Amino acid sequence: MAGRTLYDKLWDAHLVCERDDGSSLLYIDRHIVHEVTSPQAFEGLRIAGRKPWRAASVLATPDHNVPTTSEQRASGVDGIEDQVAKIQVQTLDDNCDEYGITEFKINDDRQGIVHVIGPETGACLPGTTIVCGDSHTSTNGALGALSFGIGTSEVEHVLATQCLAVKKMKNLQVIVTGSLQVGITPKDVILAIIGVIGTAGGTGYAIEFAGSVFESMSMEGRLTVCNMAIEAGARAGMVAVDDITIDYVKGRPYAPADEHWGSAVEQWRDLKSDSDAVFDKVVELDGQDILPQVTWGTSPEMVLPVNGIIPDPQTKTGVERDGIIRALEYMGLKAGQAITDIAVDRIFIGSCTNSRIEDIRAAAAVVSGKTKSATVKEAIVVPGSGVVKLQAEAEGLDKIFIAAGFEWREPGCSMCLAMNADKLEPGEHCASTSNRNFEGRQGYGGRTHLVSPAMAAAAGIVGKFVNVNDL
Amino acid sequence: MRSFTRHKGIAAPMDRANVDTDLIIPKQFLKSIRRTGFGPNLFDELRYLDKGEPGKDNSGRPLNKDFPLNDARYQGASVLLARENFGCGSSREHAPWALDEYGFRAIIAPSFADIFYNNCFKNGVLPIVLNEAIVEGLFVAMYEQEGYSLTVELDSQQVLTPEGEQHGFEIDHFRKHCLLNGFDEISLTLKESDNIKAYEDDRREAAPWLFTQLS
């Protein structure tokens, strides 16, 4: 029998049964819930007279709608000015209270973005299946877990049954060999991968990221990479368990207690693809070739190295050409323009992709002792959780940002998708550490450029995109 | 869930690749705690010339006359013709809710993003994958002929054109079975309660640390 991939192993370990109709029931160990995609699921349960199968498997927190200014946060849910958003956050609180679900409420120190608090608390662990009504749930796969986003009907399904009826995905291995140049971050790596395989390259697949670049990458870096697996079309991304994984998990609040730690680690050690495992597709990149990345269009695959030149649509045909023409028009850019000629109006450092302590440190290192460009209207730094915020403040990073003219905010999703008050005005260009540059994503008419935290910080200092290594 | 067996309806175009769920239903509408009310804001940023907000009266808003769904010839359309990677991006089920409420029963494209594709089935909307050349042919025929209608038969897995062409499509057996019968998937899964409990008991024994109460 051929060896199994990491994904095969996680799948096999969670298979409850295969039914006659060809579907499989997969057991879900951990269910993370936020305010936007859950209200209709709880309502569905209520209408059907059902209860959560295992409420103790669920961890909830509000993140999408929460304000990030300290004045508004001081009043908790009442501080949310938008009444529709306020009802949604209140509804999450009410549902969690009613069903006995653990929730980090808006002003709990542990509140934060779902995909930050999962790994940070140890609620998300190696070898587990994890779902959340949010596509960036792929993040947790970095721990050697099978973690993917689901819709609201499936949120209700998992609440009611602790299972999902699913079809197995195919296996895609993305290998990045060699080592990275100085100043190249995990964000640059995943953007470069998306540039190669495209936003649909991973559709139908679970991606395992392998090779020396990921083997030597920190856990927070791996979380960034797996976070954007969905931007390559794959519902799930993952990295094999190694010492970096185990060291990261040890001592976290919900990590296995001392009496279980030994047997947990023993199980986790097998969470890697067998040497003779067969992947349906393999893509390989050389880490040495990767430069700092900047997106110029309205899809994450519209990405270039910082020294790149915006493509000419006339060199393409059909739907692809039309897509570039539309993207350039929306972005207010021209073919032949250099990435380094793009002026930015706002800086956003945050999101489930890049709001962990290493991201905050990387951005702070760039702005330290410098001042925000006068042409940049606003630069905000939004930590991914209350825990990240406190850690950064303990290291004095908040003061570095404030001294440079950047704003230091309260944790939440913020301007990644602009459901709260943090948003772009029409036509504004933003250097953003988030994950999607879709039309209107950061605000109606807003123009998003996806970059690493260091590159966003550098753009904030210069007012245009620069290679952070040249700063 | 509403069942789907056979549907005939006017086809309308969404003629661009990588249509993301933010474009299908912008995030300001996701603040609702209901499943309904999203239809009037389907493709909001393309459909209207101003910015939409929840609770805003859409009847007085300026329409983008260049957007096909605002064109008289596509009024009443219920089959959406789209390009590759339709529905990419967020997992928001509000996207199929909006398409459904607007009146689309089927979406035909060369490829769909996985989560969106899955979400459609939960709402009785049928996403159909046909190869790129066939989709291109349907676009051409639709643009040429006003009132161009397509018929979708789920049981025989065929898309039928007015010219009499039949285009077969693939669909997972379980999804087809649920959609044809309008089954409630949760009820189906709960029939396996004994299996789930047995699995859970084994899991608790093997990995007890996963069953502690979070505090």
Inter-chain touch B16–A323, beta carbons under 8 Å: yes
Q: pLDDT-derived band of residue B1, with 50, 70 and 90 as boundaries?
A: confident
Helix pair angle (A386-394, A114-121), 10° resolution: 70
Q: What is the average per-residue pLDDT within A127-150?
A: 98
DSSP SS3 for A303: strand
Q: pLDDT-derived band of residue A401, with 50, 70 and 90 as boundaries?
A: very high
Q: What is the average per-residue pLDDT within A359-368?
A: 98
Q: What is the CA radius of gyration of chain B?
A: 20
How many domains, chain B? 1
pLDDT, tens digit (0-9, with 9 covering 90-100), for A200-232 = 999 999 999 999 999 999 999 999 999 999 999
Q: pLDDT-derived band of residue A21, with 50, 70 and 90 as boundaries?
A: confident
What's the CA gap between A446 and A464, in Å, rounded? 16
Q: Are A360 and A397 in contact (CB under 8 A)?
A: yes
**Which one of A84, A154, A233 has the shortest CB-CB distance to B32?**
A84
Best residue in B1, B14, B16, B18 for a mutation probing chain A (most A CBs within 10 Å): B18
Least confident interval from A21-25, A455-459, B8-12, B36-40: A21-25
Q: Look up residue A114 and give its two tokens.
A: 């779902």
pLDDT, tens digit (0-9, with 9 covering 90-100), for A247-256 = 999 999 999 9
Q: Which residues pair with A103 in a beta bridge?
A: A60
What's the CA gap between A429 and A347, in Å, rounded? 9
Q: Look up residue B20 and give its two tokens.
A: 């993301």
Inter-chain touch B111–A200, beta carbons under 8 Å: yes
**Which one of B15, B89, B214 has the shortest CB-CB distance to A135?**
B89
Helix (H) or strand (E) holding A392: helix A386-394
Number of separate helices (H) and strands (E) present in chain A: 16, 19
What's the CA gap between B28 and A440, in Å, rounded? 11
Inter-chain touch A417–B189, beta carbons under 8 Å: no
pLDDT for position A118 = 98
Chain A residue whose CA is closest to B190: A161
Contacts of B170 in chain A (CB under 8 A): none
Q: Which residue has the tokens 């209350």?
A: A386
CATH code where residue B132 lies: 3.20.19.10
How many angstroms separate the CA of residue A440 from the nearest CA in chain B?
7
Q: Is the pLDDT of residue A1 over 80?
A: no
Q: Look up residue B14 and give its two tokens.
A: 């969404």
For A198-298, where are the alpha helices, taking DSSP H only? 212-215, 219-227, 243-249, 258-268
Chain A contact for B133 (CB, 8 A cutoff):
no
Query: What DSSP letter does each residue of A47-98 carry, written as one string?
Result: HHT---S-GGGEEE---SS---SHHHHTTGGGG---HHHHHHHHHHHHHHHH
User: Kindly report the CA angle at A412 between A32 and B118, in degrees rounded to 5?
Assistant: 40
Inter-chain touch B196–A319, beta carbons under 8 Å: no
- Give Cα separations from A332 to A316, A326, A446 (angstroms): 19, 10, 11
B38 occurs within a structural domain: yes
Count of positions (residues) in chain A: 471
With a pLDDT cut of 90, the percent of chain A lying above it is: 98
Inter-chain touch A299–B18, beta carbons under 8 Å: yes
End-to-end alpha carbon distance in chain B: 36
Q: Are A238 and A208 in contact (CB under 8 A)?
A: yes
| A·B CB contacts under 8 A | 203
Q: Are A61 and A117 in contact (CB under 8 A)?
A: yes
B206 occurs within a structural domain: no
Write phi, then psi, for B35 (nearest 5 degrees). Answer: -95, -10
What's the CA gap between A42 and A135, in Å, rounded? 19
Q: pLDDT-derived band of residue A152, with 50, 70 and 90 as boundaries?
A: very high
Selection from A384, A469, A380 nearest residue A430 by Cα? A380
Q: What is the average per-residue pLDDT within A403-417?
A: 97
Contacts of B114 in chain A (CB under 8 A): 169, 203-204, 233-235
Domain of B112, in residue numbers = 6-183
What's the CA gap between A249 and B91, in Å, rounded? 28
Q: Is the pLDDT of residue B159 over 90?
A: yes
Within 13 Å, how many C-alpha atoms sit on residue A426's CB side? 7
What's the CA gap between B53 and A145, in Å, rounded? 38
pLDDT, tens digit (0-9, with 9 covering 90-100), for A430-468 = 999 999 999 999 999 999 999 999 999 999 999 999 999
pLDDT for position A250 = 98
B112 occurs within a structural domain: yes
Selection from A377, A384, A132, A374 nearest residue A235 by Cα? A132
With a pLDDT cut of 70, the percent of chain B lying above it is: 100
pLDDT for position B215 = 84
DSSP SS3 for A260: helix
Q: Which residues pair with A172 in a beta bridge?
A: A207, A281
Inter-chain touch A203–B113, beta carbons under 8 Å: yes
Q: Look up residue B96 and give its two tokens.
A: 């199929």
B213 occurs within a structural domain: no
pLDDT, tens digit (0-9, with 9 covering 90-100), for A62-120 = 999 999 999 999 999 999 999 999 999 999 999 999 999 999 999 999 999 999 999 99
Q: Which residues pair with A309 in a beta bridge?
A: A338
Predicted model pTM = 0.97
Best residue in A40, A80, A128, A159 for a mutation probing chain B (most B CBs within 10 Å): A40
Task: Compute the mean pLDDT over every residue in chain B, rounded to the nearest whole number.
Answer: 97
End-to-end alpha carbon distance in chain A: 54
Contacts of A156 in chain B (CB under 8 A): 186
B61 occurs within a structural domain: yes
Q: Are A298 and A189 in contact (CB under 8 A)?
A: no
Within 13 Å, how many C-alpha atoms sit on residue B147's CB side? 0
pLDDT, tens digit (0-9, with 9 covering 90-100), for B42-52 = 999 999 999 99
B95 occurs within a structural domain: yes
Count of positions (residues) in chain B: 215
B210 occurs within a structural domain: no
B204 occurs within a structural domain: no
Q: Is the pLDDT of residue A22 over 90?
A: no
Write phi, then psi, for B8 (nearest 5 degrees). Answer: -120, 130
Q: Is the pLDDT of residue A246 over 90?
A: yes
Q: Which residue has the tokens 């197995």?
A: A168
- Give Cα separations from A380 to A111, A273, A396, A398, A414 (angstroms): 19, 40, 16, 11, 10
pLDDT for position A2 = 84
Chain B residue whose CA is closest to A164: B189
